[in-house]
Amino acid sequence: MYWALLVSVSTLSSFTFAQGQSQQAGNTTQDSWPHVYPGMPAGGYSPEWQTYFQVTESLPNVTWPLARNWAGNIPVQRAGHPNDTLFFWAFESSDGSFTADCDEPWGIWLNGGPGGSSLFGLLFENGPIHILSDYSVVENQYAWSTVADHVWIDQPVGTGFSTVDPTGLVPDEDQVATDFMGFLENFVKVFPNLARRPLHLSGESYAGMYIPYIAKAYFEMDNPPVNLAGIAIGDGSLLSIEAFTELPVISVLETYPQVIGYDTQVFEYFHEQSTLCGYNLTLEYPQPEHFPTLNGPISPTAAAETSMKYKKRGLLEAQRKLVAELIKRDAVSMEAGERLQARDTWKRNLAGRANGTIDPWYQCDIYYEMVDYALNFTFPWSSGHQFDVYNIPDALSPEVPIDATVFLNDARTRAAIHAPTSKDWVDYTFPVFAPTNKPTNPFGDPSIEPIAFLTELATSATAHNMKIIIYSGNDDSLIPHFGSQSRSFLSWPNTTFGGIQGFSRKPETAWYNDAGEFAGIVHQERGWTYALVAHAGHFVAYTNPISALTLAREFIFGDNPTGMVTNTNSGTVIVIGGEEPSLGDEIMRGQAGIYYGQATTASTYFFPSATVEAWDSYMTTATAILTRKPR
């Protein structure tokens, strides 16, 4: 019944799109439809549509020959919502590869948000076209489409150039996954060779919600439309907000002590608050028991305030809103001397507070207290430079422009990629979830976090020989690593895969990028891979494209064994690539310099060497302060 319904809806696609042209164009998220361009086939989806979707017209300022590529809207086949479509833009990796009948892998990329357009990823992160800060366009030599045929998809419906009926928003992640599978069924009718080829589904940020639900839906289908061979999630929100922001604050401060000016007294305060709030978790190898559920800010008022901080934006909007709120909180601007006096007062109040007392103002919202402290008391942030929650060492204010609206909303681009004319493209769309009376997370999503079913997902992945990759940029503070591993550390310790809960050994194997530079830490066990990427922020491919490309080729699409735990014939355990104990201390220190200036780097600030040395000396002796107690 389900599959019959999908097929019947797909055959109406051309009629539905044509009818849409008689409606009045608008830019509202919840009322948009695809545009009918000349040459659209009249029948249902088939390889005949390849010619229609192929991008043959020139794109503004693209002066080099692009690989063959295709773009446009395809319905998700949801009954009663014919204009619920997803927009795709696909690039082949070599001549004829995208339509070849072969066994080569192909990839799909999803940005997060929720409501973040994947065209942001294509044009600023890992796609073949790269928009610079002056709005010029250049070829991206680190595009993931150089490794494998790749498709960037705007989803859920209504995101980016995807369209949505007035009442067609998704109610939850299960519908997100169902829509995605409905889209893929139509997509492989257009490109039938892709149905059999190994698919690697990758994404970042809130895609940490999308991708596990999509994988779960895939395993629940008797006849899925594609051959899902692997999933990869970067800096992903697999967990609750408390787990991905509040829990790792101490590791953020150990990675970038510049945030608190290398002040050991301030560090001890944050460590105490983290402990009082129950954020002091310790990893073991393997993990003997599940970690407990983490609680957020302890009072209903504080919880509501935290929720509202996120409610009106996705992760893409977090930094701008966060800084505005913190500035509002401290309405009076202070000169340098006043800031020093205020900091001293803050520390005196801290010293006078009884041990074991949670701060009455911030409660357990220690992440926002950390950012607030930097903005008030630590140079360069205290001198009017914004705190980039996605990339700690970047204090440029204003930031380097990252804007694709001029390129994508140009009529020439829009026509070339068969984009809808009923809406303008924006990088972030809100809301993408339909209103509900159910409890939701701060983004309006009522779905449980994927950690709740990750063990079942891992079991299915093992049975289907599907690999799972989790990676994280070391410079991300919003969804950071926990210790020297990926910030998703709570994912695998609470997950049983291959019959064992968590990893059996501490990750401490170095990996290197194509330039021969140290790229971070990698660890692989029983079908799971995690990679911590050095000198990379939340958007890994944007901040460190060469390491991101190496990661994609060697680990996401490839089978590089570096970091693999193996058993020898004699029964001993070895790790391919060796182990470096210095990498297993749960912290990989970030870079020393903090960039600041306007849009482009005017200067790099380094703290005095004596200050850094004092911090290092403190950290080597204060073991009682730094110990994370098991719970």
Mean pLDDT, residues 319-337? 46
Q: In terms of residue numbers, what domain contains 332? A: 244-401+591-626
Tokens, residue 65: 């020959």
Would 282 be classed as within a structural domain?
A: yes
Would 256 be classed as within a structural domain?
A: yes
Region of poorest pLDDT, from 17-21, 369-373, 442-446, 449-453: 17-21
Measure the CA–CA gap between 235 and 244, rounded to whole angstroms.
9
| Number of domains the chain contains | 1
Mean pLDDT, residues 297-304? 36
pTM of the model: 0.86
Would 396 be classed as within a structural domain?
A: yes
Q: How confident is residue 168, by pLDDT bands cut at 50, 70 and 90? A: very high
Mean pLDDT, residues 384-399? 91
Q: What percent of the chain has pLDDT over 70?
A: 77
Check residue 255 and give its pLDDT.
93
Check residue 551 and give its pLDDT.
98
Measure the CA–CA gap between 193 and 188, rounded to whole angstroms.
7
Look up residue 242 and give its DSSP letter: I
Mean pLDDT, residues 577-594? 88
Does the pLDDT value for residue 131 go beyond 90?
Answer: yes
Q: How do residues 510-535 score in pLDDT, each as one tens digit?
A: 999 999 999 999 999 978 898 999 99
Measure the CA–CA gap between 251 and 189, rounded to whole angstroms.
47
Computed from CA positions of residues 23, 25, 29, 34, in that sequence, does the dihedral angle turn out positive or negative?
A: positive
Q: How do residues 423-457 score in pLDDT, each as one tens digit?
A: 999 999 989 999 988 888 888 999 998 888 988 99
Would 600 be classed as within a structural domain?
A: yes
Measure the CA–CA gap between 13 and 43, rounded to whole angstroms.
8
Among residues 402, 404, 403, 399, the alpha carbon closest in space to that of 599 is found at 399
Q: How do residues 392-416 score in pLDDT, each as one tens digit?
A: 999 998 888 899 999 999 999 999 9
Region of poorest pLDDT, from 1-5, 104-108, 302-306: 1-5
Among residues 503, 479, 519, the alpha carbon closest in space to that of 565 is found at 503
Check residue 527 and give its pLDDT.
84
- Residue 308 in 3-state DSSP? helix
Q: How confident is residue 245, by pLDDT bands cut at 50, 70 and 90? A: low
Pair 87, 423: CB distance under 8 Å: no
Packing angle between helix 207-220 and helix 454-463, nearest 10 degrees?
50
Would 382 be classed as within a structural domain?
A: yes
Inter-CA distances, 337 with 65, 250, 480, 607, Å: 57, 28, 33, 18
Place of tokens 């980039």: 388
Does the pLDDT value for residue 2 go beyond 80?
Answer: no
Strands (E), 317-446: 394-396
Does the pLDDT value for residue 290 go beyond 60?
Answer: no
Region of poorest pLDDT, from 68-72, 140-144, 331-335, 549-553: 331-335
What's the per-residue H, E or C state across 537-576?
CCCHHHHCHHHHHHHHHHHHCCCCCCCEEEECCCCCEEEC
Region of poorest pLDDT, from 1-15, 50-64, 251-265: 1-15
Among residues 395, 427, 401, 357, the alpha carbon closest in space to that of 161 is found at 427
591: Cβ contacts below 8 Å, ≥ 6 apart: 393, 475, 535
Does the pLDDT value for residue 299 go beyond 50?
Answer: no
Pair 98, 68: CB distance under 8 Å: yes
In the chain, the largest separation of any two C-alpha atoms, in whole Å, equals 76
Higher pLDDT, 85 or 113: 85
The secondary structure element, H or E, covering residue 153 is: strand 149-154
- Residue 606 in 3-state DSSP? coil
Check residue 398 and give its pLDDT.
85
